[in-house]
Amino acid sequence: MPGLKEIRKKIGAVKSTRQITKAMKMVAAAKFRRSQGRMFELRPYADKMASVLADLSGSVDKEHPLLQVRPRKKVEVLVFTGDRGLCGAFNTNIMKAATRLIKELSAEGVDVTVSTVGKKGTDLFRRRKANMRMSWTGLSGKITYANAQEIAQNLINNYVNETYDEVVIVYNQFKSPMVQKVTTAKLLPIAELTAEGAESDNSAEKSQAATEFEPSEQAVFETLLPKNIEIQIYRALLESQASEEAARMAAMENATRNAEDLISQLTLQYNKARQAAITKELIDIVGGVEASK
């Protein structure tokens, strides 16, 4: 059985760990509230833009380069992970889904390139000698719309230049603080223009008079298409950020709870060991007294 001094050291170490995990949980909770607020503010805007594009798609010429479907010979997989760990299975689930997708595409004879957002995904795919094209790191906690514009512009330029024929994104979609869903979605080409909230429009809204577009429907449509890609990237960034902080908050809460359980077990072990030591000393004293009679 470990000595009293060793058990006291273990209790002190676990208490220090509990303080760290408790502080990390509080920091993650504050970051989560901010990222969740930004994500909820963007969702209606993104849905409305998709709705406008869906309405325009029936009355314009669809000759835009971002709408052109080519034979799928080369596919770009864009993976959204975090820059840091200590967030449970957040990064692991994303990387498993991305790895599975890459294997499936490769089995079909497709040439796959990988781009990553986040240090964890970048490190993994470099270790696995994947065909890495681009990586963006250091965005966690400080995502801006300019980041989404940079990523979107890079993807659009390479798609138009036929570096690849399709772009697929893999990210964690935020459902609730306890649930994050790994989502795979085709970003390019823009094959279907539908809005998530389109079916919820009531009959009064559908019967409104036709909206007038300036300078023209075609011009608005062609301007919004690349902007829609930027919004989708920005949405994926914010969804991923909120999911990461929610996962980290839950992981740190579990770690704090486990530390408290371990402290209780070690304290009980310490008390038993101390009681055993006291009992042994009493037996030695009584034995010595009896021997001196």
> Domain locations in the chain?
4-26+251-285, 33-193+212-249
Q: 286 pLDDT band (50/70/90 cuts)?
A: confident
Q: What is the mean pLDDT of residues 271-275?
A: 87
Dihedral class, residue 202 (left if φ above 0, else alpha if ψ from -120 to 50, else beta): beta
Instruction: Say which residue the tokens 């402290």 belong to.
Output: 263
In CATH terms, the fold of domain 33-193+212-249 is Pyruvate Kinase; Chain: A, domain 1 (3.40.1380)
**Residues 57-97: pLDDT tens digits?**
777 777 788 888 889 999 999 999 999 888 989 999 999 99
Active-site pick, 87, 98, 124, 152:
87
**Residue 246 above 80 pLDDT?**
yes
- Is the distance from CB of 116 to CB of 139 less than 8 angstroms? no
Per-residue pLDDT, 37: 93
Express as a percent the part of the chain with pLDDT over 90.
58
Residues 174, 239: Cα–Cα separation, whole Å: 5
Summary mean pLDDT of the chain: 86
Radius of gyration of the chain (CA): 28
Per-residue pLDDT, 34: 92
81 phi and psi, to 5 degrees?
-125, -175
The tokens describing 224, both together, are 């919004």
Do the domains 33-193+212-249 and 4-26+251-285 match in fold?
no
Q: What is the mean pLDDT of residues 210-222?
A: 76
Could you confirm whether 87 is annotated as catalytic? Answer: yes
Residues 266, 256: Cα–Cα separation, whole Å: 15
Which CATH class name applies to 4-26+251-285? mainly alpha
Under DSSP, the state recorded for 154 is H
**Residue 52 above 50 pLDDT?**
yes
Q: Where are the alpha helices (DSSP H) in the chain?
A: 4-56, 90-107, 119-127, 145-160, 203-206, 217-292
